[in-house]
Amino acid sequence: MNAPLAALANDRFLRALKRQPVDRTPVWIMRQAGRYLPEYRATRARAGSFMKLCQTPELACEVSLQPVDRFPLDAAILFSDILTIPDAMGLGLSFAEGEGPRFARPLRSKQDIDRLGLPDMASDLGYVTDAVRMIRHELHGRVPLIGFSGSPWTLACYMIEGGGSEHFARAKSLLWDDPASAHRLLALLARTVAAYLGAQIAAGAQAVMVFDTWGGALSLPHYHEFSLRYLREVAALLPRGDGAARVPLILFSKGCGHSLEAQAETGADAIGLDWTIALDDARRRVGDRVALQGNVDPVVLYAGTSAIRAEAIRAVHDFGPHPGHVFNLGHGIHPTMDPEKLRLLIDTVHRESAALFASA
């Protein structure tokens, strides 16, 4: 079970998610454990394959801690992959170098969908919860630990396409041609995601996040029917405690700024924003219903130092001296980025926000 909040040396991230006052804006970065770090590349080479890295708790723990050891981040995130659930459902996940994920047995018929069942969290996904326990222990209360999952719609995209896709033609066609099967698949995935995140919480995750990476690929009506509906279902089913011990839930629907108000009504504690949404506008739209996380364009980290500082300062002032902001990029950090650019970004956010809160 989770240690009491008081055991944390740095609880800014959790306080911000609960819209409580902080002395400076907390920072963590999507894909903060990854290929831009030379120490990650060394561990990945030692593992021999990406799947081995994900499925070996000791190695997953090692790479989860690397960015926290290097940078003054305010949270750690479990190192894993969003496709662990489909793999546990028997679809046969593999990663070809330079080609991304592939499933040996994608869902290509109604019968394929009907055959799916809820995976067993202990036997099929125990390596993930083992990693959570190990990371939580090795953090020694320095910062909170985030667990995560892909969203039902995003997982369905990969399961139906058999991998990544430019247009998601098979997945989106299912929504028109056989909506009953689509809803059956998404309902099963919502139950699975909730159980999976619940298992991570039981193992020690102090916040959890759902990545709806491909929500923005849908039309507005389809987004509400086939993605947002099941994000609400995950939030409703997720066992995360009550009161002060309640574990916060972050939802991130990339490319879905059109529906912030509806996202704020899902039952989540925080909404992730990509870089196409202004923080001040988003805050006006959702009010104090949820915290906000985001949202600088990751590509700015290829720019010069003055541009990086300016973007960090802009984000801090766009949100303003209000509770409920977690700074992040608008999507994951790019693998060829200079790590010292990230240090500059983190330091600027911390310094600028501390001055802003002190003067407010």
pLDDT score of 98 = 67
- For residue 147, give the 3-state DSSP assignment: strand
* Rounded distance between C-alpha atoms, residue 360 and residue 353, angstroms: 10
Domain-located, residue 301: no
pTM across the whole model: 0.96
User: Would you call 35 a catalytic residue per the annotation?
Assistant: yes
pLDDT score of 73 = 98
User: Would you call 81 a catalytic residue per the annotation?
Assistant: yes
pLDDT score of 5 = 38
User: Would you call 44 a catalytic residue per the annotation?
Assistant: yes
The neighbour count for residue 167, using CB atoms within 10 Å, is 10
Domain-located, residue 125: yes
* Rounded distance between C-alpha atoms, residue 222 and residue 335, angstroms: 32
Domain-located, residue 344: no
Choosing from 19, 24, 87, 158, the catalytic residue is: 158
Number of domains in the chain: 1
Question: Which range of residues forms the domain containing residue 32?
Answer: 5-291
Domain-located, residue 349: no
Domain-located, residue 222: yes
Q: Which residue is associated with the tokens 């009504």?
A: 265
Domain-located, residue 307: no
DSSP-derived letter for residue 257 is G
Residue ranges of alpha helices (H) inside 246-338 are 260-263, 279-286, 305-319
pLDDT score of 360 = 84
**If you count them, how many residues does the chain have?**
360
CATH number, residue 21: 3.20.20.210
| Span 268-327, pLDDT tens digits | 999 999 999 999 999 999 999 999 999 999 999 999 999 999 999 999 999 999 999 999
Residues of the chain below pLDDT 50: 1-6
Domain-located, residue 156: yes
Q: What is the 3-state secondary structure (H, E, C) of the chain?
A: CCCCHHHCCCCHHHHHHCCCCCCCCCECCCCCCCCCCHHHHHHHHHHCCHHHHHHCHHHHHHHHHHHHHHCCCCCEECCCCCCHHHHHHHHCEEEECCCEEEECCCCCCHHHHHHCCCCCHHHHHHHHHHHHHHHHHHHCCCCCEEEEEECHHHHHHHHHHCECCCCCHHHHHHHHHCHHHHHHHHHHHHHHHHHHHHHHHHHCCCEEEEEECCHHHCCHHHHHHHHHHHHHHHHHHCCCCCHHHCCCEEEEECCCHHHHHHHCCCCCCEEECCCCCCHHHHHHHHCCCCEEEEEECHHHHHCCHHHHHHHHHHHHHHHCCCCCEEEEECCCCCCCCCHHHHHHHHHHHHHHHHHHHHHC
**Percentage of the chain lying above the pLDDT 70 cut:** 98
Asked whether 47 and 53 are in contact (CB, 8 A), the reply is: yes
pLDDT score of 95 = 87
pLDDT score of 85 = 97
| Span 225-255, pLDDT tens digits | 999 999 999 999 999 988 888 999 999 999 9
Choosing from 12, 15, 36, 81, the catalytic residue is: 81
| Span 128-137, pLDDT tens digits | 999 999 999 9
